[in-house]
Amino acid sequence: MENKRKPYQLVSREWKKENTVINLKNTSIGNGNITVIAGPCAVENEDQIFTICEFLSKQNVKILRGGAYKPRTSPYSFQGLKKDGLILMRQAADKFNMNVITEVMDTNLVDEVAQYADILQVGTRNMQNYQLLRALSKIDKPVMLKRGMSSTMEEWLLAAEYILSGGNDKVILCERGIRTFETATRNTLDLSIVPLLKSVSHLPVIVDPSQGTGIRELVEPMSIAAVAAGADGIMVEVHNQPEEALSDGAQSLYFDQFSGLINKLKVSTAAFGRSLDVETEKILS
Amino acid sequence: MENKRKPYQLVSREWKKENTVINLKNTSIGNGNITVIAGPCAVENEDQIFTICEFLSKQNVKILRGGAYKPRTSPYSFQGLKKDGLILMRQAADKFNMNVITEVMDTNLVDEVAQYADILQVGTRNMQNYQLLRALSKIDKPVMLKRGMSSTMEEWLLAAEYILSGGNDKVILCERGIRTFETATRNTLDLSIVPLLKSVSHLPVIVDPSQGTGIRELVEPMSIAAVAAGADGIMVEVHNQPEEALSDGAQSLYFDQFSGLINKLKVSTAAFGRSLDVETEKILS
Amino acid sequence: MENKRKPYQLVSREWKKENTVINLKNTSIGNGNITVIAGPCAVENEDQIFTICEFLSKQNVKILRGGAYKPRTSPYSFQGLKKDGLILMRQAADKFNMNVITEVMDTNLVDEVAQYADILQVGTRNMQNYQLLRALSKIDKPVMLKRGMSSTMEEWLLAAEYILSGGNDKVILCERGIRTFETATRNTLDLSIVPLLKSVSHLPVIVDPSQGTGIRELVEPMSIAAVAAGADGIMVEVHNQPEEALSDGAQSLYFDQFSGLINKLKVSTAAFGRSLDVETEKILS
Amino acid sequence: MENKRKPYQLVSREWKKENTVINLKNTSIGNGNITVIAGPCAVENEDQIFTICEFLSKQNVKILRGGAYKPRTSPYSFQGLKKDGLILMRQAADKFNMNVITEVMDTNLVDEVAQYADILQVGTRNMQNYQLLRALSKIDKPVMLKRGMSSTMEEWLLAAEYILSGGNDKVILCERGIRTFETATRNTLDLSIVPLLKSVSHLPVIVDPSQGTGIRELVEPMSIAAVAAGADGIMVEVHNQPEEALSDGAQSLYFDQFSGLINKLKVSTAAFGRSLDVETEKILS
């Protein structure tokens, strides 16, 4: 689709024709199946994370999301449980044989987060935090790079290029909505970028319809739409008590909504000739 | 999803619970089936429009799109065949038993366009041309209201409210991409607005992935994604010779791409428990 | 500053090196002096418009603004006094020897508005209403073309090109703020476009800080900043009772604020080596 | 202007009525005078920075800007001289009795940058790098917080609140343009935010017309407009050989353009009843 000389190289299809596959315990991202990543916005306490993790485990979800270090717009908002949150996520995930993805906000935290997480996430506010990207290029764990809320595709791919050019080729892209004039949704989920990314880059692409829309009821249709657009997976927020959540309650799914979503996704992905990773055999720990 | 008092009324679900259905010759919009509207960006000559119309007719497409009066950014660009274009579209559509949708750009043209078209389209640049909306509120033909390229959902629904409050309740909404900072795609197709619109309004919602993305290769995935998001149909640009098109060639599908799209859509819509209107029996003229 | 081939011609400095000057009764726009256009958002009644007009006349303002046909987002908002508003504006302006500028919303209204107004204004929602632009290209009155709220400079100049290429070279550009993600102000006033416009085009440029910011207190600093940026004038909303205004009260100046603005502007423009048109001798009728 | 409860506190005028003044060697920011900060985009070599610094010193500029650690969109672009750049800036500034402002990109670099700089700058990409903001809240040097390219005023003030609430009240805000759909300028300089910020906050506000417009010829008019809008100063890029600059050459002023700007600014600021800090007596080292 694009013929002009691209400013990025290692992330491009021209450089590497085959899809990059990220191998994790029990599952892979980018192998053709649709990955489901789920969990609360933030780890709040032991009971919360274990309850959610157990529920997700029964749904055969393989990757638990949750924030331990939280980048909050206000210094007075809940900032996450920090290291305690990391420990709780790891314990819950280990008990239920799941993988952990969580955000790393600073170069000083890379080692600590890498100790507990299976995938390190770079948040939208740090997509162009180049020192952090360089630090992540030196570790041997996958990195999920969320799109900056006002980043063009080219800037996003160049941010990924920082990680690959530093030596870490295990990068996953995550579309999470961009900032526009529209306020009816929290962000504007840019699904068109998904097939465009798949065309110009070999990296797997995850879509986050929870952050992307900010409205719980839109998560199901936009998850299916994301898969229809060619995404390799979705990341959704689920909470045992959304109305009590310390952050992002309005966009977190109730458990029964999540089960319903999985059922709908199974049917749709089958129609697209693909499978959900939650449909693959569960490997007991 | 929204509880604050809304500034619109007649277009809302609170006012009318049941979906609005627009009845046309051989088909309906908003009745649960997925409508396929297709045709060239602009009517260019008799051979072109008849060739395209015949092809679409064989695909059982029921609604032909095409521009006769074209709103072009530059006064020096091709401005459309005007009345001659309307006549050609009508003749082609009649020969192949199809409906015609085309844009009306001005109050002075409402009568003329209404004489030849089955659906009158308001383009993105005229969404807040209130004199035009008022004129269209007085006719007895359906109106498709494209979203202004920088219009919020609320402004869009209020524009529709102009038409309904004037007496014409046959309004179709069309999402065609909004203007953002991203330049990798021509516009940013806002699919999240589709389920939100379906929730707050009873009006049918069509998605235009050709205008929305500006890139031919993205039309198929975004068409399927649009249906996944809950759209009542899609409108796509098709041309017998896209590379020779007088406008929007880069986003127009080749005939074989269009056939492929229809096949993919049939499978997906079935998975969503819906059907394409092109799958319904063709009524011979 | 720009060397690539431009898609517009007649509006460009390459085409016409000298500044375009719009001659009106008692004053000119674009002749080096700073033009002050002022008045209410909408004409509401005889008392209101005469009171405001008399006040402005005492300030030696030469051009009265006011809406008779109002493009309102909601069909249920005050839509203007229409022809009665035009007549009232004309009467008030004639009594106090001023010029009238008011918006024309539709081709059907061009003759009527041209009968009463000295300058016809195209509003932001109609900047790409090409039938209207063509109609205005055939009249012998100046046209003020407000920037579309999501229009690039190039699209704006091409809209102006529609008017010039049709035969009317009396075009004034008006920056009135663009739509962005920022909601602290009603729009984002793009003052950088002013010196850029002055560099690439010979047309006069007016700035509207009332629409541009939506906040009364910002009108004074942004008026001075507009002149500092090189604008040929400003257009501001003034009301005798802003808190009672039927539209845009929050951005309308009180009389004493307007007097204060004029005093500040006199000092600043003098520092820039220019004069306000209100400082020129008042010609009695 | 705003009466709703604000989410920020320490940065607000309600909390502290008097303007915050940042005291530096030979000058102050926010004391009523207009501060001029100038220098190259990046320190490139000893000759370059000393040549520029000497020139600026003759203009009586008190604060030298320059990048040592450069956040570049591409990993393959010049990334700055890093520590060597800091040392060169310090040496040049000391020789000519000036202050140094330079960007700090990461928590790990705070100590190093604080050792050489008089003001630490947070760049637009790091405005919501909260770990960095927290680290800067613990140092005893002023911090200049540039606006995130898609940050609302509220998000910006909340980022400043991170620094103040951590214990550092020496914060300067810098408007440097926001990201919009307009591509004629590099960013859209949001001057309306200046008087709004001055109204709601006690912090000094600097405007960067070089980054804000990306076009050398616009720097002078937008600098004067910034002062007209109420800014406490400007930050501009100057280079001895803009056409040879390793970054941002197109927006860097030539020496004679800078001298011209200072002369124009002197006249304008006098008209506004203010003075440039370059007009104050130079204190010899």
Three-state secondary structure string covering chain A: CCCCCCCCCCCECCCCCCCCCEEECCEEECCCCEEEEEECCECCCHHHHHHHHHHHHHCCCCEEECECCCCCCCCCCCCCCCHHHHHHHHHHHHHCCCEEEEECCCHHHHHHHHHHCCEEEECHHHCCCHHHHHHHCCCCCCEEEECCCCCCHHHHHHHHHHHHHCCCCCEEEEECCECCCCCCCCCECCCCHHHHHHHHECCCEEECHHHHHCCHHHHHHHHHHHHHHCCCEEEEEECCCHHHCCCCHHHCECHHHHHHHHHHHHHHHHHCCCCEHHHCCCCCC
Chain A positions in Cβ-Cβ contact with residue C179 (cut-off 8 Å): 181
Residue-level pLDDT at D4: 62
Residue B194's SS3 state is: helix
Residue B154 sits at the chain A interface (C-beta within 8 Å)? yes
What is the ipTM metric for this complex? 0.95
Domain assignment present for residue A281? The answer is: no
User: pLDDT per residue over D249-258, tens digit each?
Assistant: 899 999 999 9
Do A192 and B181 lie within an 8 Å CB cutoff? no
> How many angstroms separate the Cα of B208 from the Cα of each of A166, A264, D164?
41, 25, 48
Mean pLDDT per 10-residue segment, chain A (285 residues): 75 98 96 97 97 98 97 95 98 98 97 98 97 98 98 98 98 98 97 98 98 97 98 98 92 97 95 90 50
Residue-level pLDDT at B170: 98
Percent above pLDDT 70 for chain B:
97
User: pLDDT per residue over B25-48, tens digit each?
Assistant: 999 999 999 999 999 999 999 999
D179 closest CB neighbour out of B150, B179, B181: B181
C71 closest CB neighbour out of B107, B108, B128: B128
Domain assignment present for residue D15? The answer is: no
Do C191 and D189 lie within an 8 Å CB cutoff? yes
User: pLDDT per residue over D111-139, tens digit each?
Assistant: 999 999 999 999 999 999 999 999 999 99
B179 closest CB neighbour out of C106, C131, C150: C150
Chain D positions in Cβ-Cβ contact with residue A166 (cut-off 8 Å): 75
Contact A53, A65 (CB under 8 A): no
Residue-level pLDDT at A20: 98
What is the number of other CB atoms lying within 10 angstroms of the CB of residue A102?
Answer: 27
> Which residues is A121 bridged to in the sheet?
A103, A144
* Separation between Cα atoms, residue C268 and residue C275, nearest integer Å: 9
Residue-level pLDDT at D153: 98
Average pLDDT over residues C227-242: 97
* Least confident span in B154-163, C239-248, D9-18: C239-248
pTM value is: 0.96
User: pLDDT per residue over B226-283, tens digit each?
Assistant: 999 999 999 999 999 999 999 988 999 999 999 999 999 999 999 889 999 998 755 4
Terminal alpha carbon distance of chain C: 45
Residue D271 sits at the chain C interface (C-beta within 8 Å)? yes
Residue B56 maps to which CATH number? 3.20.20.70
Mean pLDDT of chain B: 95
Residue A263 sits at the chain B interface (C-beta within 8 Å)? no
Residue C75 sits at the chain B interface (C-beta within 8 Å)? yes
Contact D112, D69 (CB under 8 A): no
Chain A: touching chains (3 or more CB pairs < 8 Å): B, C, D
Residue-level pLDDT at B256: 97
Residue-level pLDDT at C135: 98
Residue B76 sits at the chain D interface (C-beta within 8 Å)? no
Contact D66, D42 (CB under 8 A): yes
B4 pLDDT band, cuts 50/70/90, is: low
Residue-level pLDDT at A280: 77
Residue-level pLDDT at A4: 63
Domain assignment present for residue C15? The answer is: no
B167 pLDDT band, cuts 50/70/90, is: very high
User: pLDDT per residue over C6-28, tens digit each?
Assistant: 899 999 999 999 999 999 999 99
Residue-level pLDDT at C5: 74
User: pLDDT per residue over D70-127, tens digit each?
Assistant: 999 999 999 999 999 999 999 999 999 999 999 999 999 999 999 999 999 999 999 9
Domain assignment present for residue C178? The answer is: yes
Contact C120, B146 (CB under 8 A): no
Chain D positions in Cβ-Cβ contact with residue B180 (cut-off 8 Å): 181
Chain B: touching chains (3 or more CB pairs < 8 Å): A, C, D
Q: In the predicted model, is pLDDT for residue D285 greater than 50?
A: no
* Separation between Cα atoms, residue D80 and residue D70, nearest integer Å: 5
* Distance to chain A for D69, nearest Cα, Å: 10
Chain C positions in Cβ-Cβ contact with residue D216 (cut-off 8 Å): 1
Where is pLDDT greater, at B1 or C265?
C265
Average pLDDT over residues C127-139: 98
Chain A positions in Cβ-Cβ contact with residue C151 (cut-off 8 Å): none
Q: In the predicted model, is pLDDT for residue D283 greater than 80?
A: no
Residue-level pLDDT at D284: 46
Do B165 and C107 lie within an 8 Å CB cutoff? no
Residue of D nearest to B178 (CA): D181
Q: In the predicted model, is pLDDT for residue D23 greater than 80?
A: yes
User: pLDDT per residue over C31-72, tens digit each?
Assistant: 999 999 999 999 999 999 999 999 999 999 999 999 999 999
Domain assignment present for residue B284? The answer is: no
Token digits of residue A38: 């789920």
Do D108 and A105 lie within an 8 Å CB cutoff? no
Residue-level pLDDT at A220: 98
Token digits of residue A178: 């961009």
Domain assignment present for residue C110? The answer is: yes
Do D183 and B179 lie within an 8 Å CB cutoff? no
The closest of B220, B245, B221, B223 to B233, measured between CA atoms, is: B223
Residue D173 sits at the chain C interface (C-beta within 8 Å)? no
Chain A positions in Cβ-Cβ contact with residue B257 (cut-off 8 Å): none
Domain total of chain D: 1
The closest of A114, A109, A68, A116 to A91, measured between CA atoms, is: A116
> Which residues is D101 bridged to in the sheet?
D65, D119
Distance, CA of B201 to chain centre = 18
- Residue span of the structural domain in which C166 resides: 22-272
Residue-level pLDDT at C231: 98
* Distance to chain D for A172, nearest Cα, Å: 18
Residue B183 sits at the chain D interface (C-beta within 8 Å)? yes
Q: In the predicted model, is pLDDT for residue C90 greater than 70?
A: yes
Q: Which residues of A244-280 are buried (b: 16+ CB within 10 A; e: fewer)?
A: ebbbbbebbbebebbeebbebbbebbebbeeebbbbe
Do B222 and A191 lie within an 8 Å CB cutoff? yes
The closest of C184, D132, D214, D151 to A150, measured between CA atoms, is: D151
Domain assignment present for residue B212? The answer is: yes
Chain A positions in Cβ-Cβ contact with residue B150 (cut-off 8 Å): 181
Chain B positions in Cβ-Cβ contact with residue C74 (cut-off 8 Å): 7-8, 158, 161
Do B180 and D181 lie within an 8 Å CB cutoff? yes
Residue of C nearest to D151 (CA): C182
D222 closest CB neighbour out of C185, C192, C217: C192
Contact D178, D155 (CB under 8 A): no
Where is pLDDT greater, at B4 or A252?
A252
B129 closest CB neighbour out of C74, C129, C155: C129
Residue-level pLDDT at D1: 46
Q: In the predicted model, is pLDDT for residue C206 greater than 90?
A: yes
Residue B109 sits at the chain C interface (C-beta within 8 Å)? yes
* Distance to chain B for C96, nearest Cα, Å: 32
Chain D positions in Cβ-Cβ contact with residue C274 (cut-off 8 Å): none
Domain assignment present for residue A196? The answer is: yes
Mean pLDDT of chain C: 95
Residue-level pLDDT at A284: 46
Do B162 and C107 lie within an 8 Å CB cutoff? no
Chain C: touching chains (3 or more CB pairs < 8 Å): A, B, D
D6 pLDDT band, cuts 50/70/90, is: confident
C1 pLDDT band, cuts 50/70/90, is: very low
